[in-house]
Amino acid sequence: MTDSELRADIHSIEPIPDADRDSTGPQQMWIWAGANIAPVNWALGALGIILKLGLMETIAVIVLGNIVGCAIFATFTVMGHKTGVNQMVLSRSAFGVRGAYLPSILMFLMTLGWIGVNTYFPVKVSMGILGQFGVPDTWFIEIVVITLVMAVQVLIGIYGFYAIRTFEKYTVPPTIAIMVLMSVLAWTRPGVVNWSLTTSLPPGAHLAMLTLLMTAIGVGWGISWVTWASDYSRFVPKSVPSKSVFWYS
């Protein structure tokens, strides 16, 4: 890791000068892979089963929905690449300066929500791991773990883009390996997965639950990142084709 890799982002909401646009397509991939590869996805993936849908149709809806949602999201990343401006500022072109106040407030609330999600699941996983080593699950230990997780998030947020891309570059590959291994171990255990599970819902309720799953976890999952889509692609040089930014994102 070089000093140029990890430095404070001083650009704030200003357009990124061409001289500072040094990101690459793979770096964009690591950033957004890191945002979507997490233990929370196991819980989200089980939502279809909780809604009493069949296993295969749940997988199909989530996969197809994410393809559509992520394609919409990736289109927004191209906006940042072409303009060098983040998504909050770009919203002014659609809503005006004052009209963009409401989207900005919603972005703030969504950010708080993601902080909560990204804190809750790592803390629960950490407590489970600590429990395997005999560490008791007490409120004090949980507060310590929460504080550590929050501190890491705050520090990375303070440094901004450069810290985020460096953090994801080094943490996403082992995270993928761990999640694949844990998934395989879980799926291959007898009685854990009913591969032939089908829905027991009547036609009307079945369609309603499919629609809910598609909008909440399918298309909705990718779209939920749109409000930050340009925040990182604006660091990609204009010499990089926009289609590369789209596909890497």
Residue 195 is predicted with a pLDDT of 84
Section 173-188 average pLDDT? 87
Q: With bands split at pLDDT 50, 70 and 90, how would you rate the model's confidence at 61?
A: confident
d(C-alpha 129, C-alpha 127), whole Å: 5
What is the tens place of the pLDDT at every residue in 14-50?
889 988 898 998 999 999 988 888 777 777 778 888 8
Section 195-212 average pLDDT? 87
Q: How far is CA 96 from the centre of its chain?
A: 28
Quick check: 3 pLDDT over 60?
A: no
Q: Which residue has the tokens 């401006």?
A: 85
With beta carbons less than 8 A apart as the criterion, state whether 26 and 248 touch.
Answer: yes
Share of the chain above pLDDT 70, in %: 98
Q: Which of 30, 26, 62, 4 is nearest to 174 (CA)?
A: 30
With beta carbons less than 8 A apart as the criterion, state whether 32 and 193 touch.
Answer: no
Q: Residue 235 CB: number of other CB atoms within 10 A? A: 23
Q: Residue 221 CB: number of other CB atoms within 10 A? A: 19
Quick check: 237 pLDDT over 90?
A: yes
Instruction: DSSP letter for 206, please.
Output: H
Quick check: 130 pLDDT over 80?
A: yes
d(C-alpha 84, C-alpha 21), whole Å: 8
Q: Which two structure tokens, joined as six digits, stand for 117?
A: 């999600």
Quick check: 6 pLDDT over 80?
A: no
What is the tens place of the pLDDT at every residue in 85-122?
988 888 888 888 888 888 888 888 888 887 887 788 88
Q: With bands split at pLDDT 50, 70 and 90, how would you rate the model's confidence at 140?
A: very high
Alpha helices in the chain (DSSP H): 25-36, 40-45, 47-50, 55-83, 87-90, 92-95, 101-132, 139-159, 161-187, 203-213, 219-223, 229-233, 242-248
Quick check: 168 pLDDT over 50?
A: yes
With beta carbons less than 8 A apart as the criterion, state whether 123 and 149 touch.
Answer: yes
pTM of the model: 0.82
User: Can you give the three-state secondary structure of 12-70, one letter per residue?
Assistant: CCCCCCHHHCCCCHHHHHHHHHHHHCCCHHHHHHCHHHHCCCCHHHHHHHHHHHHHHHH
Mean pLDDT of the chain: 86
> Domains in the chain, please, with CATH?
18-248 (1.10.4160.10)
Q: Which two structure tokens, joined as six digits, stand for 102?
A: 């409401």
Dihedral sign, CA of 148, 127, 134, 144? positive
Quick check: 5 pLDDT over 70?
A: no
User: Do you know the residue count of the chain?
Assistant: 249
Strand, helix or coil at 167? helix
Q: Which of 148, 158, 96 is nearest to 123 (CA)?
A: 148
